[in-house]
Amino acid sequence: MKTHRIGIIMNGVTGRMGTNQHLIRSIDAIIKQGGLRVGPDEVIMPDPILIGRSESKLRELCARTSATKWSTNLDEVLANPDYTVYFDSQTTGRRADGVRKAVAAGKHIYCEKPIAVDSKTALELHELCKKAGVKNGVVQDKLWLASFVKLKRLIQTGFFGKILSVRGEFGYWVFEGHTIPAQRPSWNYRKEDDGGIIVDMLCHWQYVLENLFGEPKALSCYGATHIAERVDEQGKPYRCTADDAAYATFELEGGVVAHFNSSWVTRVRRDDLLTVQVDGEKGSAVCGLRDVWIQHYGNTPRPTWNPDIPQPINFFEGWAKVPDQETYDNAFKIQWELFLRHIALDEPFPWDLLRGAKGVQFAELGLKSWAERRWLPVEKLA
């Protein structure tokens, strides 16, 4: 068996996303399945070393997973030629410095989004990778959600005909912490710590819209800080300075109109934490994180407006669930496997740091649109 060993420096995996999605459900899962099989007698085997500031957390993660190595000294590990890939899932404000150091050390780069706190820095990181000749990628996990894979198939087969509009609802109630503990970190709600739902979520909507429905041409965004005070991890109240909800409308190439509501202060009465409705001339679809329901033109009811009688139509009927025609793996793991193939076999990987910079640009425009109360064009990045 030919084995491509890939040493991966995993920085920031003690955080919620880094631990669960990137370490446990991706890299650890690949190791436990015997590596990534790429041929009858050929396999890619990741070899991670965990980086962080807390020795106790790093030791605990090694005890829980297949990872056996950890360090609190990033510079020392970057100097080790056994590790050729640098992965960063730190908080956004720390990411650029980590990536700069890794590029200077000749490492290939894979990182969470947003890749930087502003588009100027994001483009700088892209250019650094380009000049250094290192491979690079940004996490764009939602492209591999089971529901969006099914949705892409529907678009490719012409189910919708001409797509008219896209409406997304994302979010749930994040407890303030006064009585029930919060289920998100406190930095998310402090602007001085690069928090805010616009920065967090608009980069997702950018790549989802571009890859499924058309490149965004313009946007209008309104943000809000609905909850003024929350309680941090130490039990201390703090003032919320970042937006906890965003209401954004996008004009896409081809005339499609999209609107996404993103909120950490909404109670869910819909199919999932994220639902997206796509309306086309020939049919519509509603998808959650895994399932998709469709209604063809021929199955569309003909309602009439009459608020004086009970609604005679059950609007949930007449929708058909799209069957699972394949196995859907964890979305983060799927993209990790594509990136590992890119490193070991030089297979194409289009989701580079330039794509990541487009997401940062999108979030910047959202914040600017909110501040200036106006529509803004989305300029193409070089």
pLDDT 10s digits, 189-234: 999 999 999 999 999 999 999 999 999 999 999 999 999 999 999 9
Instruction: Calculate mean pLDDT across residues 178-198.
Output: 95
Q: Where are the domains of the chain?
A: 2-140+331-349, 142-328+361-376
The 8-class DSSP code of residue 363 comes to H
Q: Which residue has the tokens 């609107």?
A: 259
Which CATH code fits 142-328+361-376?
A: 3.30.360.10
Instruction: Calculate mean pLDDT across residues 134-145.
Output: 97
pLDDT over 80 (residue 382): no
pLDDT over 70 (residue 354): yes
Question: What is the pLDDT at residue 381?
Answer: 85
Residue 43 bridge partners (DSSP): 3, 37
Chain centroid to CA 81: 30
> What pTM does this model have?
0.93
pLDDT over 90 (residue 355): yes
Q: What pLDDT band is residue 1 in, cutting at 50, 70 and 90?
A: confident
d(CA 306, CA 310): 8
Q: What separation, in Å, do the N-terminal and C-terminal C-alpha atoms of the chain show?
A: 42
d(CA 366, CA 362): 6
Q: What pLDDT band is residue 93 in, cutting at 50, 70 and 90?
A: confident
User: What mean pLDDT value characterizes the chain?
Assistant: 96
Angle, CA of 25, 28 and 34, to the nearest 5°: 115
Which CATH code fits 2-140+331-349?
A: 3.40.50.720
Chain centroid to CA 299: 34
Share of the chain above pLDDT 90, in %: 96
